[in-house]
Copies of this chain bind each other. A is one copy, B any other.
Amino acid sequence: MAGETVLVIGGGPAGLEAARGVADLGYRTVLVEARDHLGGTPIAASYAALTHGMRDAGEVMGEMAAAVTGHPLVDVRLGTRVVACAGAVGEFAVTLERRGARETVAAGAIVVATGFDHFDPGRATQQYGYYQYPDVITLQDAEAMLKAKRFVRPSTGEPPGRVGFIQCVGSRDRHIGNEYCSKVCCGIASKQAIEIRQLLPACRVFIFYIDMRMYGYWENEIYWPAQERYKVAYVKGVVSEITVKGERLLVRGEDTTMNRPMEVPMDVVILSNGMEPSRGTREIAPILGLRQNKYGFVETPHDALDPVATSVPGIFVAGAAAGPKDLDDTIGMAGAAALKAVAAVRRAAGATPAGAVPA
């Protein structure tokens, strides 16, 4: 029955987990992904190891994708976008487009799992010279090198002797309009710092930060070892600009612990760029009539008490489409969203309290 189908939009970790969850409850899912492959940002951005557990991103996402592509209740549509939506909970009619061809599918409920985009550090923070200096890179550029197990200074192809991370690039920054904390960059930078030290034991690694925001796994398995075992130097400070001195980059700013100006030479600077609403989120919200918060993420009006409910009954959100999330958050939300979507379908179909949806 068409009204018993849940449409899941997005084939990254949140969407894959939500689709599997719906199917594991015995309900049909149509999983729509704009890209031509599943796996979302971890695959599209060439992530190396996923935290926690440092398992290979390709392997993990491959397993998650296989769980849905092999499931008889999941209908995967790649290279497909949602272009229109009508109806309400229990009877949404959603128009999909693939290579110019349109089709309308019926769904009782919808899960939005459109993820995030990485902040473009060239857009508004050009004091860091991302488009000017080849040795100024992003977390994603670094991740791709770490995936290849070869971390070099881009301008020379040689191993760097000094690497510095700059935290909160595009986050906690009122000037560019992103007051929010992107939540994961402290952990990802620290993880990469460890990986660089493992690959290049002679390389010195610095992290320039405002607050190190790590908890649970990140604190115990990443932050303590980064400091103690891997001797990563954490410097509480504000970096105001990056210039060049001789053959090296020069990180200039204020060391707020020592309370003095700092000028630190680096071979590679990694900008810890945060999360922004994805193109998919920006496109889908008006199509589905979802309210967005002032940053463009999908609004969750009940906040912590129902973190997956949106402003539209029967439409739920999972993962970073609702704002910066880590993988824990994303997988938990995906399960919760799948449950709420199936419950909404059941209610709309007039489920009796005692059990199954009437035929």
- Interface residue ranges, A against B (CB under 8 Å): 21, 23-26, 50-53, 55, 60, 71-73, 172, 179-183, 211-217, 219-220, 224, 236, 256-259, 302-308, 323-324, 326-329, 331-340, 342-343, 346-347, 351-356
Which B residues touch A354, using CB under 8 A?
26, 72-73
Q: In the complex, what's the smallest C-beta–C-beta distance from A137 to chain B, in angstroms?
A: 24
Q: How far is the CA of A220 from the CA of B339 in the complex (A)?
A: 29
Q: In the complex, what's the smallest C-beta–C-beta distance from A141 to chain B, in angstroms?
A: 23
Given B214, B256, B339, which contacts A336 in the complex, CB threshold below 8 Å? B339
User: Is B181's CB under 8 angstroms from A216's CB?
Assistant: yes
Given B179, B331, B342, B343, which contacts A306 in the complex, CB threshold below 8 Å? B331
Q: Which residue of B lies closest to A340 (CB)?
A: B335
Q: How far is the CA of A71 from the CA of B257 in the complex (A)?
A: 56
Q: How far is the CA of A304 from the CA of B23 in the complex (A)?
A: 21
Q: Is the interface of A mostly helix, strand, loop or mixed?
A: loop
User: Is A24's CB under 8 angstroms from B183's CB?
Assistant: no
Q: Which of A24, A334, A336 has the most CB of B within 10 A?
A: A336
Q: Which residue of B lies closest to A327 (CB)?
A: B304
Q: Which residue of B lies closest to A55 (CB)?
A: B305
Which B residues touch A220, using CB under 8 A?
179-180
Q: How far is the CA of A319 from the CA of B73 in the complex (A)?
A: 30
Q: Which of A183, A213, A302 has the most CB of B within 10 A?
A: A213
User: Is A53's CB under 8 angstroms from B331's CB?
Assistant: no
